[in-house]
Amino acid sequence: MRGKHKNIFLIGPMGAGKSSVGKYLAAQLDMDFFDTDEEIEKRTGVDIGWIFDVEGELGFCKREEAVVSELASLSNIILATGGGTILSPESRAILHNHGAVVYLEVSLRYQEARTINDSRRPLLRVQNRQEVLEKLQGERELLYEEIADFRVLTDKKNVRVVADEIIQWLAAE
């Protein structure tokens, strides 16, 4: 991998499969894998929900910006970003300038199914989950599309199939 593709950044909404695909892809391409949420939890010693409760979404986003900036300066990595990472203009610019940005798309139907039993997602600890997912999609979809070098719809696909599509795209680049 060379030039712009020294790193691969996976963006997309929660439930798109960024962490699962990223781990598999890293193993296939012999790259290091990082997940922004895991890195934040490792560095703070607390889970994401606690950070949201204490610092709010803004506090979490500041931590996320710092992690993205630091990890993007590395080489030969795959980074699974949080669904809201692209809300930060700084993070969007960093991702765009330091690697290939792959947008893992997921329909609302599949996103709901994949996140239904996941209590670790602070933005979904509400009664109106479907409304929240629709609102987030409306706020973020154009930002994902704006910085994506490649897009993969993950509905009805397993991790291997999604990773293989990304590998084929990289080989053609």
**Average pLDDT over every residue of 146-154:** 96
72 vs 123: which has the higher pLDDT: 72
Note the pLDDT tens digit of each residue in 67-78: 999 999 999 999
Cβ atoms within 10 A of the Cβ of 89, count? 10
pLDDT exceeding 70 applies to what percent of the chain? 87
Residue range 153-159: mean pLDDT, rounded: 94
- Find the mean pLDDT for residues 118-141: 72
Per-residue confidence band for 79, with pLDDT thresholds at 50, 70 and 90: very high
pLDDT exceeds cutoff 90 at 52: no
Q: What region, left, alpha or beta, does residue 3 occupy, with left being phi > 0 and alpha being psi -120 to 50 degrees? A: left
Q: Give the tens place of pLDDT for each residue, 1-42.
A: 444 458 999 999 988 899 999 999 999 999 999 999 999 999
pTM confidence score: 0.88
* 73 burial level (CB within 10 Å; 0-12, 13-18, 19+): exposed
**What value does the mean pLDDT of the chain take?**
88
The larger pLDDT score, comparing residue 131 to residue 142, is at 142
Between 147 and 126, the more confident residue is: 147
Please give the full DSSP string across 38-100, using - where no structure is assigned.
Answer: HHHHHHHSS-HHHHHHHHHHHHHHHHHHHHHHHHHTSSSEEEEPPTTGGGSHHHHHHHHHHSE
